[in-house]
Amino acid sequence: MAKIKCRSCLNLDYCYIFGRYEQRKDGDHFCGLHGRAHVDPDGEQVNLDARGGCGFIPKHRDPKPIQLTFDF
């Protein structure tokens, strides 16, 4: 199995009900995307989406250039 990437994922310890990150004691982490399923950020990738992955979303995305146009 692949190494898990939770430490750099937006959904680690994020509660979608309250819309905020929760402070957790070390070793007690959850995935907000998968109904607060327990995850080990330093372990192996678990099959949370029944396809061998988890729906990883990186915290830092490269900004995409935006072209502004004005039509008069």
Domain extent listing, the chain: 1-72
For the purposes of burial, counting CB atoms within 10 Å of the CB of 39, is it exposed (0-12), middle (13-18) or buried (19 or more)?
buried
Query: Is the model more confident about 41 or about 64?
Result: 41
> pLDDT confidence of 36, banded at 50, 70, 90?
confident
pLDDT at 25 over 70: yes
For the purposes of burial, counting CB atoms within 10 Å of the CB of 41, is it exposed (0-12), middle (13-18) or buried (19 or more)?
middle
pLDDT at 5: 77
pLDDT at 3 over 70: no
pLDDT at 48: 76
pLDDT at 37 over 60: yes
